[in-house]
Amino acid sequence: MSKIKLALVGCGGMGTRHLYGMRELLASPFNNIEPVGVCDIRLENAELAASEAETLFGYKPAVFTDMETMAVAIPDLDAVSVVTDPSVHHTVVCRALELGWHVMVEKPMAITVGACRMMIDTAARHSRILSVAENYRRDPSARLIRHILEKEWIGKPYLAWCHALGGGNTIFITPWRHIKDKGGPILDMGVHYTDLIRYQLGDIAEVYGDARLLEKLRYKPESIGDQYTFYQNRHRAMEESVPATAEDVSVALFRMESGIMVNWIMGRGGTGGIGGEMILCEEGQIASYGTRGGRAEIQRKGKDKEGHEALVEMASDFELEPLAAHFFPDCIGAENVDWRLIALEYFELGEAILHGRQVELDGLEGLKDVAAVYAILESSLAGRSVSMQEIEACQVYGYQQEIDEALGIPG
């Protein structure tokens, strides 16, 4: 089978997890990638990633600290996977496209809607593929629920909610996740959920939102519950406290183009928490889908709840794509789900380059997910509801303007 030559750019926490995702694909009968390089502006991060890769792949990819040197050293490189912090997605992705590579970039696609537009234009100018890595929608439970909604098993949806609020004042994974022009927690987490909402319920028409910064100082957590060496090293080196500039709690109401109402509570700060997603339909309700390893549940009007296994049994016309079915034969994102969802993203990129498969989240889809999060923050600043049209066209831009000015992004 032909394979694309691939390099990882950005070898931090998620970059490390990408290596495990690549390993899952390499070990499958569907493999269509050949990882050949790792690149990070911090040499120690690139070297650690190369050593991890050696253990995982059985060979060591070449190490780089800049993409120009990598382009000379690997002239037949097909694509890069950009897993840097979001404040540099646009500069790294645009440079990679100019160097002639196809690109997959981690969510959020970019730090502002203007930055997303730069990336879309550059990809079009260079006729390269631009794919956004968004894993939640690839979970088998998200696929199953989308199928059930499409088939209208329990009628049409009219109301949904999406809640992911956790309290506390510790540093959320990395210090940069608390800085407005690096990608605050609402953008970093929220974009998973704007994508899921749009995936299940279609495009958003209008948003009323409000957001607050509750925890102005963030503290180093006592431990980091992650086994990866990179996360452990970073935890040891982490500063004791970080001043926060990005909002950490948000509330919103989305009116979908279909007329469905969606309630949103999202963030990381303050004293309380709430979690879970629900879609209410004419003939019943759906819960517990989407996030990695989710197990969907349906309750039809006046009936007992039906769990994930029963739904799979009933959905005889539902099929996962072949690689997903190989990874998740019971249609449950169980074993190694984090890595295997990443493997699905790489497989799709390979197929797009080798055989012209359409990528599921192209630049425009990635932009819509980012724009939906900013609609909340723009609405909060403007003190009125905003239409997605004005956010996507950058007509309402007060909140993002400050970020663009700080990063030199043309608004």
Ligand X SMILES: NC(=O)c1ccc[n+]([C@@H]2O[C@H](COP(=O)([O-])OP(=O)(O)OC[C@H]3O[C@@H](n4cnc5c(N)ncnc54)[C@H](O)[C@@H]3O)[C@@H](O)[C@H]2O)c1
Among 9, 119, 160, 353, binds ligand X (CB under 6 A): 9
Minimum distance from CB of 299 to ligand X (Å)? 29
Minimum distance from CB of 54 to ligand X (Å)? 18
26: helix, coil or strand?
A: helix
Minimum distance from CB of 209 to ligand X (Å)? 20
According to the binding rule CB under 6 A, does residue 345 interact with ligand X? no
DSSP string, 320-385: --HHHHHH-TTSS--TTHHHHHHHHHHHHHHHHHHH-PPPSS-HHHHHHHHHHHHHHHHHHHHTS-
User: Which has the closest alpha carbon to 64: 106, 4, 8?
Assistant: 8
Q: Are 158 and 329 spatial neighbours (Cβ–Cβ below 8 Å)?
A: no
According to the binding rule CB under 6 A, does residue 14 interact with ligand X? yes
According to the binding rule CB under 6 A, does residue 40 interact with ligand X? yes
**In terms of CB distance, is 9 or 251 closer to ligand X?**
9
The residue behind tokens 């609405």 is 379
Minimum distance from CB of 185 to ligand X (Å)? 10
User: Can you point out the beta strands (E) in 65-156?
Assistant: 79-82, 102-106, 130-133
According to the binding rule CB under 6 A, does residue 92 interact with ligand X? yes
**In terms of CB distance, is 46 or 352 closer to ligand X?**
46
According to the binding rule CB under 6 A, does residue 291 interact with ligand X? no
**In terms of CB distance, is 42 or 305 closer to ligand X?**
42
According to the binding rule CB under 6 A, does residue 88 interact with ligand X? yes
User: Which has the closest alpha carbon to 368: 92, 137, 156?
Assistant: 137
According to the binding rule CB under 6 A, does residue 369 interact with ligand X? no
User: What does the alpha-carbon distance between residue 38 and residue 255 come to, in Å, rounded to a whole number?
Assistant: 42
Among 25, 39, 162, 337, binds ligand X (CB under 6 A): 39
**In terms of CB distance, is 175 or 284 closer to ligand X?**
175
End-to-end CA distance of the chain: 44
100-119 residues near ligand X, rule: CB under 6 A: 106-107
Peptide bond into 108 cis (omega under 30): yes
According to the binding rule CB under 6 A, does residue 86 interact with ligand X? yes
According to the binding rule CB under 6 A, does residue 131 interact with ligand X? no
Name the residues that contact ligand X, by CB under 6 A.
9-15, 39-42, 45, 83-86, 88, 92, 106-107, 135, 173-174, 188
